[in-house]
Structure 1
Amino acid sequence: MKLELLNLSNLNKVASLAICLGLGLGLSACGGGGSTTGTTPVVVTPEVPNPSGPGHFEVATFIKTINVTDITAALPKEVTAVVKPLYSVDTYKITYTTTDTSGRNVIASGLAVIPRKTGSQASPVLAYQHATIKTDAEAPSNHATADEPAVLFASMGYLVSATDYVGYGTTKGLPHPYLLAAPTALSVADFMTATSRWRQMKTIADNGQVFLTGYSEGAYATMATLRYLTQNKTGALPVSTFVGAGPYDVVLTLNAMLDAVRKQNPLVGALISPGFLKKLGANDRANVRNLLLSSALGSSSDINFDPTFLDNFLNDDDAAIVVQSNVNDWTPQSPISFFHGRDDTTVPYGNTDSAFQAMTKRGAANLIDRMDCPAKPAEHIPCVPAFLINDITRLGVLAKGL
């Protein structure tokens, strides 16, 4: 799924034609003679390659414009003390082709957010991956509001793409590939391709810089996507990736969760021990798995979470989790910044340790860095404001055209 790029030669020809016709210049300025006074401007839309299959851009639907003052008012006070939104933004629901967990093509959706800049300077692109959400109403394309993180990033000057993931938006009801690396990465990478094609069709210029970011499940999705882009050489790699509190080592995460349950309730902990459950029938394991999912998500969730990662765990199949879910141990070829709170009991800090140590052993120490959340206690949700501040600040140093 390579990111399709316009042929530069053709693009230059189209741009020249657009300037001559759209600005009403004399033909002499375009290689001819005579006057064009009174001619009607012509808008030329570039012909952008958009083949069918994964990454195909389907439809863009304008949602609304969100004012910069509303975005600022929606931010936590500790964020506005440091971060100052710059632009009002236009929001669009984008549909595109990707694949589900079975490898079948599906029409998924996501949110594209465009800052309302007055100048002609091209902007950097940022792919934002959302954290775990329990209802479809919270999916980015259904949540184009002033407090949506994708909207905040766009108000700072980025062209933002934020996929809903499969299982949300237009694919609600299909299994959401929760903590399954390959289908998660494809849904993000395909949306990046589709939104790139759409922007080219709309002549919304980007400057070639791409950034990736996400928190919690969004950090996991970001890491899975970066690994996919790196290993499959699908185009230019991001300038930088900033991830916060992600469950990159799913084996470690699930074992930590089980240890916590054992401490709180030894009897229940013994009953859900993978070694014990492996001896039970498939139906009994499925009942325990469903109980765990409902306990974690609550009764209000309307999302169909794919339980494969949990089935592998309850079946005591760590090898399958490593192959299908873990995204901690691979060799990056572009910079990654890790952010995490050491008191995090939702996604253990050991995930960042695991990824950092594995990548260092692979010789990538010069490409990775990490910082600890300064909140006290440095728990999962309380660390979100600090994550946003550091994310915007650190990427902003590298980004051009904001």
Structure 2
Amino acid sequence: MKTNATSLKTRRLAATGAALVTVLAAATGPALAAPGDNESTAPGNWRGTLVSVETVEQLSPQAAADQAAGRGYPARAARYGVTHYRVVYRTPDEHGRLTTASGLVSLPERGRDDLRVVVYEHGTMAARAQAPSVNPAVHGDSALFAAAGYAVAAPDYLGLGLGPGPHPYGDLASEVTASVDLLRAARSVAHSQGHRLDPRVQVTGFSQGGPAAMALGRALQSGADRHFRLGSLAPVSGPYATRDAEAPAGLDGTLHPKVAVYYFAYWLTAMNRLHHLYDTPSELFQAPYDQAVEALFDGTHSDSEILQSLPDTPQQLLTPHGIDWALHPTGGLLAAFEASDSSCDWAPRVPVRVYAASGDRDVALSNAQHCAQALTEHGAQVTLTDVGTVEHSPSRRLALPQVAAWFEERLPA
């Protein structure tokens, strides 16, 4: 399936409206801002505590099935209606300081007290307005699982949705803490509705959410929360090997050049805040893009706006030094790569299914191959499934129903 790269990214944000971006920018003001510095050293029991809960949708079984079908999943009868809740909760930021994050918690309308749990880690997005808790257009991802009887937690991650500050794109550590703390918040929401959450968590995620899912699985297995533990793990089309797979594929034309430009710009500007890659953007980005690239990822710009403001190829975006450094990383860039690429370097004690697509030109298939190999070398039981010669977004639509069916085999709802 051949499609213009710009339109591929634009479609992912088709539901974004300028009005919604404006509303969400306002919503990150004082009412939902991070607590003061005097709370930054508070005991760890503040993590996952609720700041606010809002019911955003209540769906009949048919409406829940229609919502999942609207995300491209095969139509099938839903067993339960679904209620989606927008949750704001306390969590550490990427530096360990107290802040807030938001996420979507979806509960099936069923009488059973105990609910099995699915975490869904979303894919790459730059606009706050596209995050699960504030974007009804992506609620079908959660409805796919919740309509089958699962409680679903879909974190926005830091800096997206109603979370303050810029999003630390690709930072595994904060993706994990935001996810664990949303699970804690979801437990409180479920309890308020008369449910208990099963401790065994089934974890999946797409694109950026692939490594986030892998890292969350490792944290749960290692005891990150006293209540929850890992049940199953099934990431989809993730960039698990940015140094050895994704960056080279972005520079040699294996990936859509325009999409590679977007990923390079987003990841490098985010990693600079964590690993100090440059003093001024002109060290890595060519003029005139060096003057605008950081501001493009402030959470108010849609992907289509960002793509229109950036060049067509990585060679037009990056300086010669930036290209050479990406291929031969040292110092801060090497540290950033190593932190981003660590999600598969462990031994899950549960079966793992890794899904990818050989036709994906956003995230190279070699990422999944690197991940599966690393897991196998650590002694894990892993299955790599190629969903076919399809592009990036279609790989999600093909893989997630398979994930849902496998979760049902593993830990039925």
Say whether the fold is shared (TM-score over 0.5).
Answer: yes
| Structure 1 position 98, deviation (Å) | 0.9
Structure 1 residues 130 and 205: CA distance shift in structure 2, 3 A = same
Match of 2:125 in 1: 133
CA distance in structure 2 between the aligned counterparts of 1:262 and 1:121, rounded to whole angstroms: 47
Match of 2:340 in 1: 325
% identical equivalent positions? 24
The CA deviation string for residues 299-344 of structure 1, in whole angstroms up to 9 with x for no partner, is 259xxxxxxxx99848933531343211232222222210100121
SS at match of 1:178: coil
Match of 1:347 in 2: 363
2:385 aligned partner, one-letter code: M
Match of 1:398 in 2: 410
CA distance in structure 1 between the aligned counterparts of 2:278 and 2:135, rounded to whole angstroms: 42
Match of 1:175 in 2: 166
Match of 1:66 in 2: 59
Alignment of 1:280-319 (within 5 A): 282-288=280-286, 297-299=303-305, 313=326, 316-317=329-330, 319=334
Report if aligned partners of 1:313, 1:321 keep a CA contact under 8 Å in 2: no
The CA deviation string for residues 255-314 of structure 1, in whole angstroms up to 9 with x for no partner, is 21112189979xx9xxx9x9xxxx99744225348577869944259xxxxxxxx99848
Report if aligned partners of 2:255, 2:363 keep a CA contact under 8 Å in 1: no
Structure 1 residues 360 and 66: CA distance shift in structure 2, 3 A = same
Asked if residue 186 in structure 1 is aligned to residue 184 in structure 2, the reply is no
CA distance in structure 2 between the aligned counterparts of 1:280 and 1:177, rounded to whole angstroms: 16
Match of 1:18 in 2: none
The TM-score, its normalising length taken from structure 2, stands at 0.70
CA distance in structure 1 between the aligned counterparts of 2:45 and 2:279, rounded to whole angstroms: 43
CA distance in structure 2 between the aligned counterparts of 1:51 and 1:112, rounded to whole angstroms: 22
The TM-score, its normalising length taken from structure 1, stands at 0.72
Report if aligned partners of 1:220, 1:248 keep a CA contact under 8 Å in 2: yes
1:372 aligned partner, one-letter code: D
The CA deviation string for residues 198-232 of structure 1, in whole angstroms up to 9 with x for no partner, is 32344312333321111111112111211222345
Structure 1 residues 77 and 108: CA distance shift in structure 2, 3 A = closer
The CA deviation string for residues 81-113 of structure 1, in whole angstroms up to 9 with x for no partner, is 5x4322111111111111222221111111111
Q: Which runs of no fewer than 5 residues in structure 1 stay unpaired?
A: 1-49, 302-309
CA distance in structure 1 between the aligned counterparts of 2:362 and 2:255, rounded to whole angstroms: 15
CA distance in structure 2 between the aligned counterparts of 1:314 and 1:161, rounded to whole angstroms: 37
2:73 aligned partner, one-letter code: V
Give the one of 95, 111, 115 matched to 1:123: 115
CA distance in structure 2 between the aligned counterparts of 1:280 and 1:363, rounded to whole angstroms: 39
Give the one of 365, 377, 383 matched to 2:395: 383
Report if aligned partners of 2:71, 2:397 keep a CA contact under 8 Å in 1: no
CA distance in structure 1 between the aligned counterparts of 2:130 and 2:215, rounded to whole angstroms: 22
**Bigger mean CA deviation after superposition, 286-295 or 183-192:** 286-295
| Structure 1 position 192, deviation (Å) | 1.0
Match of 1:218 in 2: 209
Match of 1:368 in 2: 382
Larger Rg: 1
Match of 1:336 in 2: 352
CA distance in structure 1 between the aligned counterparts of 2:256 and 2:119, rounded to whole angstroms: 39
Report if aligned partners of 1:66, 1:146 keep a CA contact under 8 Å in 2: no
The CA deviation string for residues 238-269 of structure 1, in whole angstroms up to 9 with x for no partner, is 2211110001112121121112189979xx9x
